[in-house]
């Protein structure tokens, strides 16, 4: 079992030292998809039989989800990138608050808990660095399936109405093609009585990956890859062995690492249909992309020029690559406009890139960029997972060294980030921040925050 504090504390006290003007070569290996793995782990609660999940990345988010499931009685063992899950003894229906607030994706457990046990108690996941992240679409869907949902003091209590044992199939239309809401409703509907349709469903590859796993467990889901999903409820689901898809966001991040350092690089394995919009934009801004064997892509950056992007649900340009792509645009020739439409606060990287000398004007969620080749390394802090990746990429190409803090964000979504880049020629070291003795003492005596003492990096 992992202690959340220990995981967070370690990364919080660390920083990366990144040497700039870097050239990459060789290849960057892509791990399993974080945003598949998390929901696949929740889906394992739908059966009493053993589930084996392969190609699961080693990330703090996966550790958090494992800790949550173990606290509820599930047995989980890990061997390298495979999880062996035995959900037979899953009995506790109250998710621990402090863990839910660390990992929003733990909210994915509400659907399976309701479907299998008929009840669930889960803290309302709050907002996070990128937005308010409401769950109203999840709740609306579960209510349509016959759940009674009460929210008192940020605790959601859900159970199945008038003593029925099962949820009831329903026709549900989402106001927004929410990935999480689609996945919550999908999982709950697999064990409902009757047929469920979801209109305006999310079409992200991770949703399709979940559908493939559920169908391999005996679910009857059709329409994957389209905005209309149909689920015929069944009485029970069996165990399975399922391999998660490669992480398209990590792959996109590594392709952008090649582009921003003007390096020819192999990246893979990828499923290129998961990256169509990203590959189009990389080609449009001046990169040649060649398909290689074993699902690798070769990227050959030429002269990089500014292009405009607007994020949108799949198959549009993914919001998770908006920050890394903006880093690339700050080094491109000419102007570009980046418009974020999915999350309302996903521009934390802008101020850090501006501190490196990037020319960005931000107006709400629209960034106007004038590219230059004058980025300078400096002390930087990542404010969320993808912003952290973005400033790390910018540091690779800038002049001089950068110190990057906020690694507890980065370690949530990128497995062995600096090790993989160093294997391709980067020069990045991970260091422990030295808190000076005086501050350490005041920290321990709890005087720190009162005295407003600034901690010094190493």
Q: What residues act catalytically? A: 128
Q: Establish if 405 lies at the interface with ligand EPZ (CB under 6 A).
A: no
Give which of 34, 167, 173 is closest to 111, Cα–Cα: 167
Give which of 429, 21, 19 is closest to 261, Cα–Cα: 21
Q: Establish if 181 lies at the interface with ligand EPZ (CB under 6 A).
A: yes
118: left (phi over 0), alpha (psi -120 to 50) or beta: left
Choose, by CB under 6 A, the member of 102, 179, 210, 329 that binds ligand EPZ.
179
Give which of 173, 163, 165 is closest to 191, Cα–Cα: 165
419 in Cβ contact with 21 (< 8 Å): no
Q: Establish if 172 lies at the interface with ligand EPZ (CB under 6 A).
A: no
Q: How far apart are CA 384 and CA 125, in angstroms?
A: 17
The interface region with ligand EPZ, picked from 179-187, 352-360, 371-379, 393-401 by CB under 6 A, is 179-187
Q: Establish if 343 lies at the interface with ligand EPZ (CB under 6 A).
A: yes
User: For tokens 């389209």, what's the residue?
Assistant: 226
Q: Establish if 136 lies at the interface with ligand EPZ (CB under 6 A).
A: yes
Site for ligand EPZ in 408-437 (CB under 6 A): 413
Instruction: Look at residue 109 and give its three-state secondary structure.
Output: helix
Q: Establish if 35 lies at the interface with ligand EPZ (CB under 6 A).
A: yes
Give which of 23, 20, 16 is closest to 429, Cα–Cα: 16
The interface region with ligand EPZ, picked from 79-87, 129-137, 240-248, 440-448 by CB under 6 A, is 129-137
Nearer to ligand EPZ, 20 or 252 (CB): 252
Choose, by CB under 6 A, the member of 25, 134, 241, 361 that binds ligand EPZ.
134
Q: Establish if 63 lies at the interface with ligand EPZ (CB under 6 A).
A: no
Q: Establish if 176 lies at the interface with ligand EPZ (CB under 6 A).
A: yes
Query: How many other C-beta atoms can be found within 10 angstroms of the C-beta atom of residue 425?
Result: 15
Instruction: List the beta strands (DSSP E) in 82-139.
Output: 82-86, 119-123
Q: Establish if 105 lies at the interface with ligand EPZ (CB under 6 A).
A: yes
CB of 398 to ligand EPZ, least distance (A): 23
User: For tokens 């009485």, what's the residue?
Assistant: 235
Q: Establish if 168 lies at the interface with ligand EPZ (CB under 6 A).
A: no
Site for ligand EPZ in 368-397 (CB under 6 A): 385-386
Question: Strand pairing of 265-268 and 27-29?
Answer: parallel
Nearer to ligand EPZ, 281 or 386 (CB): 386
Nearer to ligand EPZ, 263 or 322 (CB): 322
Query: How many other C-beta atoms can be found within 10 angstroms of the C-beta atom of residue 70?
Result: 14
Sign of CA dihedral 251, 254, 258, 259: positive
> What residues pair up with 265 in beta bridges, in sequence order?
299
Compute how many residues bind ligand EPZ; rule: CB under 6 A: 26
Which residues contribute to the site for ligand EPZ (CB under 6 A)?
A: 34-35, 38, 105, 131, 133-138, 176, 178-181, 202, 204, 206, 319-320, 342-343, 385-386, 413
């Amino acid at each position: 079992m992992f202690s959340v504090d220990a995981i967070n504390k370690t990364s919080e006290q660390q920083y990366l030292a990144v040497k700039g003007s870097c050239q990459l070569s060789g290849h960057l290996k892509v791990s399993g998809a974080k945003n598949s793995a998390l929901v696949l782990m929740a889906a394992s609660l739908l059966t009493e039989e053993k589930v084996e999940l392969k190609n699961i990345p080693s990330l703090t988010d996966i550790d958090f989800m494992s800790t949550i499931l173990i606290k509820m009685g599930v047995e989980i063992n890990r061997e390298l990138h495979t999880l062996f899950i035995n959900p037979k003894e899953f009995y506790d229906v109250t998710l621990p608050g402090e863990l839910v607030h660390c990992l929003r994706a733990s909210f994915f457990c509400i659907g399976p808990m309701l479907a299998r046990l008929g009840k669930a108690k889960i803290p309302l996941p709050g907002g996070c660095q990128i937005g308010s992240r409401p769950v109203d679409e999840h709740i609306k869907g579960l209510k349509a399936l016959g759940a009674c949902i009460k929210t008192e003091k940020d605790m959601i209590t859900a159970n199945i109405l008038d003593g029925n044992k099962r949820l009831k199939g329903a026709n549900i239309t989402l106001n927004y093609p929410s990935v999480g809401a689609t996945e919550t409703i999908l999982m709950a509907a697999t064990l409902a009585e009757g047929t469920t349709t979801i209109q305006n469903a999310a079409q992200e590859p991770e949703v399709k990956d979940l559908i493939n796993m559920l169908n391999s467990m005996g679910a009857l889901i059709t329409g994957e890859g389209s905005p209309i999903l149909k689920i015929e409820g069944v009485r029970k689901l069996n165990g399975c062995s399922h391999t998660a898809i490669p992480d398209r966001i990590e792959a996109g991040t590594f392709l952008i690492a090649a582009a921003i350092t003007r390096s020819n690089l192999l990246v893979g394995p990828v499923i290129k249909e998961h990256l169509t919009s990203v590959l189009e934009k990389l080609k449009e801004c001046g990169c040649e992309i060649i398909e290689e064997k074993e699902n690798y892509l070769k990227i050959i950056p030429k002269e990089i020029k500014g292009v405009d992007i607007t994020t949108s649900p799949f198959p549009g340009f993914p919001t998770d690559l908006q920050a890394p792509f903006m880093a690339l645009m700050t080094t491109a020739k000419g102007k570009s406009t980046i418009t974020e439409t999915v999350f309302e606060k996903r521009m934390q990287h802008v101020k850090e890139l501006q501190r490196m000398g990037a020319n960005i004007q931000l107006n709400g969620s629209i960034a106007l960029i004038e590219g230059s080749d004058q980025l300078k390394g400096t002390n930087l802090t990542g404010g969320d997972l993808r912003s952290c990746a973005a400033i790390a990429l910018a540091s690779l190409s800038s002049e001089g060294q950068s110190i990057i803090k906020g690694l507890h964000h980065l370690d949530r979504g990128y497995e062995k980030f600096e090790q993989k880049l160093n294997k391709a020629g980067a020069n990045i070291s991970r260091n422990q921040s030295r808190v000076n003795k005086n501050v350490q003492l005041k920290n321990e005596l709890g005087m720190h925050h009162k005295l407003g003492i600034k901690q010094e990096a190493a």
